[in-house]
């Protein structure tokens, strides 16, 4: 399963080097040069990991991390800070701002990949264990129930697992193959069109409460649970 990584660094050479090394390691990467561009990317979709240079034009990387940690949508986004600053107090400041790790430039690609793996393992969600509430929907794995207010929404077992997976990864775009791995298991031998069939059934079940619009199709990519829709922005989308 390929993880999406966003790289925020003003140096085109660093961007190119990171994209090449991340691609060779099986990641997909998108790049930008400043904090405002990063916020635009993050508004479109959440990656699995953000690699962020401290020295940015306008708003520093350290300030951007604090901003992300203050928002519910991005507070759990894994972040690795990059900087030429090697002093201990700089590292402490970056970590206290909310960065998960700090890497001093110059660094080797193997070290970066090792740190990325460690951060992703620490931050990996555990879908299926906890009750979750997003966009007015409440999903309880313990009772296998989904409700919208007082309305209970009956789902088949596959549709329940699919919704559970998507709600535990809100705003992230998942390809059909990623959904097959996450919902059916890595060893399942199924056609990717199976995902489309069950997404259709899930949407049909959610129509009764008007939540089918939260299961978004991202053309050319896959599907995501849009937790921060108009309804969510109005005050829903509170995580359990």
240 within some domain: no
Residue 163 and residue 94 share a domain: no
Q: Model confidence over 10-60: pLDDT tens digits? A: 999 999 999 999 999 989 899 999 999 999 999 888 898 999 999 998 899
- pLDDT of 45 reads 84
Domain boundary among 91, 123, 155: 123
Domain count across the chain: 2
Structure tokens of 238? 């509170």
What local confidence, expressed as pLDDT, does residue 2 receive?
A: 62
Answer for the pair 31, 14: CB distance below 8 angstroms, yes or no. Answer: no
CATH number assigned to the domain comprising residue 218? 1.10.10.10
- Give a yes or no: residue 227 inside a domain: yes
Q: Which of 100, 123, 146 delimits the end of a domain? A: 123
Q: Are residues 116 and 89 in the same domain?
A: yes
Same domain? 189 vs 138: yes
Q: Which pLDDT score, from 0 to 100, does residue 194 have?
A: 84
Residue-level pLDDT at 65: 93
Question: Residue 48: which domain range?
Answer: 4-123
Task: Check whether residue 10 and residue 118 sit in a common domain.
Answer: yes
Q: Are residues 117 and 8 in the same domain?
A: yes
SS3 content of the chain, % helix, strand, coil (to 5): 40, 20, 40
Name which residue leads in pLDDT, 152 or 193. 152
Asked whether residue 204 is domain-assigned, the answer is yes
Mean pLDDT of 166-194: 81
- The rounded distance, in Å, linking the Cα atoms of 168 and 103 is 29
When pLDDT is cut at 50, 70 and 90, the band that residue 238 belongs to is: very low
In sequence order, which residues have a C-beta less than 8 Å from that of residue 196 and are 6 or more positions away?
Answer: 176
Per DSSP bridges, beta strands 215-218 and 151-152 are: unpaired
**232 — pLDDT class (breaks 50, 70, 90):** very low
pLDDT score at 180: 86
> Does 229 score more than 80 pLDDT?
no
Total Cβ atoms within 10 A of residue 195: 22
69 in a domain, yes or no?
yes
The CA-CA-CA angle for residues 70, 123, 185, to 5°, reads 130
Rounded CA separation 165/13 (Å):
37
Q: What is the pLDDT of residues 60-118, one digit of tens each?
A: 999 999 999 888 788 878 899 999 998 888 888 888 888 888 999 989 999 999 989 88
Q: In terms of C-beta distances under 8 Å and separation of at least 24 residues, what long-range contacts does 181-189 make, across chains too?
A: 181/1, 182/1, 182/127, 183/158, 184/158
Residues 97 and 159 in one domain: no
Residue 151 half-sphere exposure toward CB, CA atoms < 13 A: 12
In a domain, residue 238? The reply is no
Using the structure block, give the residue that is written with the tokens 């008007």: 210
Nearest to 99 by CA among 67, 56, 147: 67
Q: What percent of the chain has pLDDT over 90?
A: 49
């Amino acid at each position: 399963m390929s993880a999406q990584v966003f790289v925020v660094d003003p140096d085109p050479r660093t961007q190119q080097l990171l994209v090449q090394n991340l691609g060779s390691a099986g990641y997909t990467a998108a790049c930008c040069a400043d904090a405002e561009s990063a916020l635009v990317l993050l508004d479109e979709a959440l990656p699995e990991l953000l690699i962020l240079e401290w020295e940015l034009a306008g708003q520093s990387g350290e300030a951007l991390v604090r901003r992300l940690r203050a928002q519910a949508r991005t507070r759990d986004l894994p972040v690795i800070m990059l900087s030429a600053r090697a002093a201990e107090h700089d590292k402490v400041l970056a970590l206290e701002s909310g960065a998960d790790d700090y890497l001093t430039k110059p660094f080797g690609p193997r070290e970066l990949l090792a740190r990325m793996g460690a951060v992703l393992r620490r931050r990996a969600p555990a879908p299926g264990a906890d009750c979750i509430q997003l966009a007015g929907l409440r999903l309880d794995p313990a009772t296998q129930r989904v409700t919208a207010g007082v309305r209970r929404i009956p789902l088949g077992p596959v549709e329940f697992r699919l919704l559970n997976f998507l709600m535990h990864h809100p705003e992230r775009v998942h390809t059909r193959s990623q959904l097959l791995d996450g919902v059916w298991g890595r060893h399942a031998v199924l056609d990717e069109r199976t995902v489309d069939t069950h997404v259709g059934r899930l949407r049909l079940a959610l129509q009764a409460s008007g939540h089918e619009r939260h299961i978004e199709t991202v053309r050319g990519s896959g599907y995501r649970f849009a937790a921060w829709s108009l309804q969510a922005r109005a005050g829903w989308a509170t995580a359990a």
